[in-house]
Each structure stands twice: as C-alpha cells, then as structure tokens.
Structure 1
Amino acid sequence: MSRYTGPKARINRRLGGQIFESAGALRATNRKPEPPGMHPRPRKVSTYGESMREKQKIKYYYGLGERQLRKLFDQAGRMSGNTGENLLLLCERRLDSVVRLSGLTHTRPQARQGVSHGHFTVNGRFCDIPSAQVRAGDVIHVKRRQNIVGLYRGRVAEFNGQTADWLAFDEENLKVIVHRLPTAEDITLPVSVEMVVELMSR
C-alpha cells in the first residue's frame, strides 16, 4: 500500500475523490468519474464497507501501510483530544506531507521520493525518513546541490496552488518554516475519520 504503483485514476474513481493528485490521474478521473468496472452501478455498501473505504482513503492519500497507520493510530490514542483528528494531524505533520503542502512538489509520491533520496535537510541535518514528524519552528531546506536546486525551482515555478497556512515558504531560498502545528481546520483530506476510529478500535 505504501508504494502503490497501479492505476491511480482507478483508486480515485473507486474511492470517489482526488486521492492521487498527478495530472494524468486527475484527467482520467474527470473523464470517467463513475466507479471502475464494465457496467458500474450503485451498490448498497455496508457500514463495515464504508469504514474500510474511508480507511483506504487515508492509506492511499498519505502513502501509509497498515502497520504505519496502526502505529499512528496508537500514538493518536495516547494524545489528549479527539483521536480521529489527532490521527489526521499526525499524518499532516509527516515530512513528506509538509514538503507537498509547501508547494515544493506536485504530489505526495513525489515528496516521498524526494525525502527518501535525501533532497532535504531539517534544521540543517540530513533526513531521509518520509514519516519523520515535524515540530513548530522546524526549518526544511532543499539540499544545496545544483541539480537538486534546479529540479525544485522548476517544480515551484509550475506550482499553481497555495502553501498551507501553518507553513511559511521562502521561494528564493527554497526553505520551509513550520511556524505552527496544524489544527483540524488545516486537514486536507475529506474523510469520515470517526468511522475509521471505530473500525480500528475493534
């Protein structure tokens, strides 16, 4: 699941949302928004089926495996507040998610690959762990190598979105500053997380 390489538009159509953000997947999803299959038709889905679908949204959107999601769920349960919100906020605070939300990449798989290949430093230190949790005050830099800097300058120039409110992006220096932690209003994935919490609490 964490390295899904199959047809992304099919996942978008099956889960009914823009889970994968690549241009090809979005074009194909817009062209055929109905669920995949030769003769797609509305089917009654059980509560369990709906919960599984919501869980799959989280796993595909953030690129998580079952074990990673379970680990985050257990961590969220030990935190104060709403477990579902805490789970999604922990997902948003992953380093690869921060790179994506800053506008340095167009998709989360791109961000995950960049982090894994060592394209970024956190507070001046090398970090190649996509799941690393950022904290308020952290500074993420693109590594100062000519080919890497050129790659990300090109991506930033093509970016037509908006940097997340809880991040500050310095386009000139290719630097991202986490000026605060995200809140429930900053969560980017529309998902019924309470159904996921109920499912995973069994």
Structure 2
Amino acid sequence: MARYTGPKARINRRLNTLIYETAGAARALDRRPTPPGMHVRGRRPSNYGLALMEKQKIKHYYGLGERQLRRYFDAVSHKPGNTGELLLLMCERRLDNVVRRVGFTKTRPQARQGIAHGHFRVNGVKVTKPSYILRPGDIVEVRGRENLKNLYRGVIANASPDALDWVTFDSENLKATILGLPGASDISLPVDANSVVEFLSR
C-alpha cells in the first residue's frame, strides 16, 4: 500500500477525493467524478463500506500501509482528545507530508522518493525514512549538493505551497523550520476520521 503503483486516477474516482495530485489523475476526477466500473453507480455502500472508504483515503493520501496505520492508531488511542483528529495530526507531522506541503515537491509520492534517495536532512542529519515524525524545533533542508538545490529551486518556482502556521519556509535557503504542532485546521485531508476510529476499534 505504501508503494501503490496502479492507476492513480481510479483511486481518485473511487474515493471521490483528490488523493493523488498528478495532473492526469486530477483531470480524470474533474471529468468523470463517478466511481470506475460498470455496475457501481446505482449501488449504495453500507456503513462498513463507507468506513472502509474513509480508511482507504487516509492510507492512499499519506502513503501508509495497514500495519503502519494501526501503529499510529495504537499510539494515539490512549491519549486524551479526539482519537481521529490525533491520528490525522500525527500523519500531518510525517516528513514526506511536510516536504510536500511547504512546496519542495508537487506530490507526496515525489516527496517520498526524494527522501528515500537521501535528498533531505533533518537537523543536519540525512534522513531516508518518509515516515519520520517531525517535532517543534526541527529544521528540514535540502542537502548541500548543488544539483539537488537547483532541482528543488526549479520545483519551488512552479509550486503552489500550502500556508502553514506551524511551519516557516525559507525558499531562498531551501529550509523549513517546525515552529509547533499542527492543529485541527491544519489537516489537509477531508475525511471522516471518527468512522475510521470505529473501524479500527473493531
């Protein structure tokens, strides 16, 4: 699941959400917002089916496998507060998500690829795990190689980054600084997280 390589447009149409942000997948959702397949248009999904779809949104959007999602759920289920919200906030703090949202890349799969290839450092140390959870005070920057800096400057020049209150981004020095923890308004995925919590609690 963390390395889904199938047609991204089908996932966008099936979940009726812009999960994959490539140009072709986005156009497909705009052009044909109905689910793929011949016999699905008249069918109404059950409550179980709806909850499963919401869970699939989280897995595809953040690039999580089933075991990884359940690990995150176990980590937040005993904390005070809304468990669904806490689950999404943990996903928002992933390194690949922050790299995408500040504008280093155009999509999350691109962010995961760049991190896995060692293009980024956190607090001066090369990190190759896209699932690395960032904390307040962490500094994310492109490694010092000139070819990498030129690559990401080109991407940033054509990117449309999200405005984040909890992260500052220095596009000149290719550096993002984590100021604090994200809040509920910073969650970028429209999803019914409470139904996912009920699904995972079974």
Name the TM-score, length of structure 1 as normaliser.
Answer: 0.97
Cα displacement string for residues 130-186 of structure 1 (whole angstroms, at most 9, x for unaligned residues): 111100111001001011111100110011243322211001000001111101110
1:70 aligned residue:
70
2:55 aligned residue:
55
Q: CA RMSD in A?
A: 1.1
- Pairing 1:149-188 to 2, within 5 Å after superposition: 149-188=149-188
SS of 1:141's equivalent? strand
* Cα distance in structure 1, aligned partners of 2:182 and 2:191: 17
1:42 shift after superposition: 3.0
2:37 aligned residue:
37
2:26 aligned residue:
26
Name the TM-score, length of structure 2 as normaliser.
Answer: 0.97
1:12 aligned residue:
12
Which AA in structure 1 matches 2:165? D
* Cα distance in structure 2, aligned partners of 1:42 and 1:183: 38
1:124 aligned residue:
124
Contact between 2:136 and 2:179, CA under 8 Å: does it hold in 1?
yes
List gaps (5 residues or longer) in structure 2.
none
2:112 aligned residue:
112
* Cα distance in structure 2, aligned partners of 1:120 and 1:161: 18
* Cα distance in structure 1, aligned partners of 2:52 and 2:38: 23
1:24 shift after superposition: 1.4
List gaps (5 residues or longer) in structure 1.
none
1:39 shift after superposition: 5.5
* Cα distance in structure 2, aligned partners of 1:81 and 1:41: 38
1:38 shift after superposition: 3.3
Contact between 2:136 and 2:178, CA under 8 Å: does it hold in 1?
yes
Consecutive aligned runs of 4 or more in structure 1 exceeding 3 Å deviation: none
* Cα distance in structure 1, aligned partners of 2:152 and 2:163: 15
* Cα distance in structure 2, aligned partners of 1:164 and 1:39: 41
Q: Is 1:97 equivalent to 2:97 in the alignment?
A: yes
Which AA in structure 2 matches 1:16? N
